Structure 1
Amino acid sequence: MVWNGRTQKKDTNPMRWASIKPIMCSGQFQSPIALDSNSATYLGAESEAVVDISVGSSVKKASDAESFTTTNNGHSLAVAIPKGTWQITLNTKAKNYYEVSQFHFHWGSVNTRGSEHTLDNKSFPLEMHIVTYPHMYANLSEAHSAPGGLAVIGVFFKLTPDQSKSSLSKMGNLLSKIGEITTAGSNVKMSYFNPERLLPQNRKEFFRYQGSLTTPPCTENVQWTVMRQALDVTEADLKQLRSIHFGVDDDAKLMQDNFRPLQPLNAVLAPQPRMLYKSWPSTAGRIAPALFVLTLHLTIITFSN
């Protein structure tokens, strides 16, 4: 099935995904959602929650190597990461390892929209999703339909006039490759870069909730972590992203507004309430029951082949 963003054909618009047969995207715990700092439940001081990224000491410095594949998949720009390159560790009691499979972007046609999630009623011009899966699965496809099979980290981007502060410009040679993948299905190799570039400096403050993929089939097996602090993007960066196309030729519609509308935190028919957590305290915030207090520590380790 072909599907598109919010400005696309009526039969494939995200507003109608829930009615498409076979039924998809009609669950009770869908994503994205509005992230509200005041109503989110504080994980509690016991969690010592932190998101951290480090590079293994044995990693071969390969900043110029064409290590990753960047693709225009018809609805986003996605960067595929070879299995075993980066791993994420969520240091809960289980301490499971997650393979980084890819990261991709959602953006708007104007700077006042583009992100899938919102933060305290604010939209951002760009949002990145880092898609991971437990190492026990052979690949992302196998994890897609498994309970708890996916963990996605969301990162907002805020506008800056200073190109030297652009976070995208620090992700290898990604920006220089965008012009080579303007049509759907095209791909190009890009250089390796330090995975720390994927996360903001403040890694102690984030939201956590259980949700879904934001694109069909919208499976509800995603553990979401959305960072509170945003990375930086320039108007020039956004112009490049807005120049690629949904279709297979240069006459196809420009890929803009490729984000799904907000979904309710708790749908009317939801069998049980869904909780939104945050990792930092506030006087107005609630404290999570001890049963739900988690320690989150993400470490990305890279391995040379």
Structure 2
Amino acid sequence: MLNTSSALFVRNKRPLQLVGQTNLPQAMRVQNDGHSVKFGYIWSQGDRPYLRGGPLKGKYNFEQFHFHWGSNSTSGSEHVLDYQRYPMELHLIFYNALYSSFEEAREEVDGLVVIALFYEMYDVNEEPLNTWTRFLKEVTNPEEEFIIQFIDTFPLYDLIGDVEWPYFSYEGSLTTPPCLETVIWIVSTKPLPITPKEMREFRKLKSKSGPMVNNFRPVQKLYNRRVYRY
């Protein structure tokens, strides 16, 4: 539970910067891993975006993004903001540039940063608000993979816009096993829009045990962790 009234407000803050957010990759890889749908990027040398500033010490390279969602519009997000839960939450994964890979960094206490953004429902005549949702049908079944060719790739800016929104930050864990305590969380308070039709496309995805829905972790207690508001 993230609560505006109890978070510690940071007055002297450095701007959060996503460097290279308009860079286009050579190609993209969409995967249904049986738990979520994951978008990875194939970069030319020097083009990989990275995160710096805000609560971070150093530079964190972008790795991938994926989603968590519910079976209906009343739940799906892994964070609860001021007692409100959203139908879906986006996670952008970054790893500390001091380490050679995500796999190495995830084992280190300063290894990872996750940007989390909520989605809220917008019924705008069912016109798509997020063009990348058209790729979901290519990975309906678990372990399916689809390569997005260069002409159809998109930069991170098209996904989340500028990183100038207010946000919370705290030190926590990954939300999937083994739930390593190696993550600095950055949780935006400005939701992104999604249409009911687009949400239905997510709910058509399948896991090994049936429909891929409610793939979110139950809300965890903060256990005296300090939560900062930027």
Verify same fold: TM over 0.5.
Answer: yes
1: distance between equivalents of 2:55 and 2:153?
32
Match of 1:38 in 2: 5
Match of 1:278 in 2: 229
Q: 1:221 aligns with which of 169, 182, 188?
A: 182
1: distance between equivalents of 2:70 and 2:82?
18
Contact 2:16–2:51, Cα closer than 8 Å, also in 1: no
**Greater length-normalized contact order (CA 8 Å, ≥ 6 residues apart):** 1
Could you say if the C-alpha distance between residues 199 and 177 of structure 1 is closer, same or farther in structure 2, counting changes exceeding 3 Å? closer
Match of 1:261 in 2: 218
- 1:184-214 residue CA offsets vs partner (Å, 9 max, x unmatched): 1111012321221232557240000000000
Q: Give the structure-1-normalised TM-score.
A: 0.68
Could you say if the C-alpha distance between residues 138 and 82 of structure 1 is closer, same or farther in structure 2, counting changes exceeding 3 Å? farther
Q: 2:145 aligns with which of 177, 187, 211?
A: 187
Equivalence map 1:1-305=2 (5 Å): 34-44=1-11, 46-47=12-13, 49-53=14-18, 55=20, 67-82=27-42, 84-91=46-53, 96-162=58-124, 163-164=126-127, 166=129, 168-169=130-131, 174-190=132-148, 191-200=152-161, 203-247=164-208, 252-266=209-223, 273-279=224-230
The structure number with the bigger radius of gyration is 1
Partner SS, residue 158 of structure 1 = strand
**Which segments of 5 or more consecutive residues in structure 2 lack a partner in the other structure?**
none
Q: How many residues align?
A: 224
Contact 1:200–1:229, Cα closer than 8 Å, also in 2: no
2: distance between equivalents of 1:70 and 1:41?
38
Q: CA deviation at 1:246?
A: 0.7
Amino acid at match of 1:242: R
2: distance between equivalents of 1:183 and 1:200?
30
- 1:54-87 residue CA offsets vs partner (Å, 9 max, x unmatched): 5489x5x67xx6x110000010000112365432
Contact 2:20–2:49, Cα closer than 8 Å, also in 1: no
Partner SS, residue 221 of structure 2 = coil
Contact 1:53–1:196, Cα closer than 8 Å, also in 2: no
1: distance between equivalents of 2:194 and 2:202?
11
Amino acid at match of 1:101: E
Amino acid at match of 1:274: R
Match of 1:296 in 2: none
Match of 1:28 in 2: none
**Which segments of 5 or more consecutive residues in structure 1 lack a partner in the other structure?**
1-33, 267-272, 280-305
1: distance between equivalents of 2:84 and 2:55?
34
Contact 2:77–2:87, Cα closer than 8 Å, also in 1: yes
Contact 1:50–1:204, Cα closer than 8 Å, also in 2: no
1: distance between equivalents of 2:172 and 2:21?
31
Q: Give the structure-2-normalised TM-score.
A: 0.89
Contact 2:119–2:194, Cα closer than 8 Å, also in 1: yes
RMSD of the alignment, in Å?
2.2
2: distance between equivalents of 1:54 and 1:220?
26
1: distance between equivalents of 2:4 and 2:28?
36
Could you say if the C-alpha distance between residues 120 and 165 of structure 1 is closer, same or farther in structure 2, counting changes exceeding 3 Å? farther
Contact 2:127–2:195, Cα closer than 8 Å, also in 1: no
Partner SS, residue 138 of structure 1 = coil
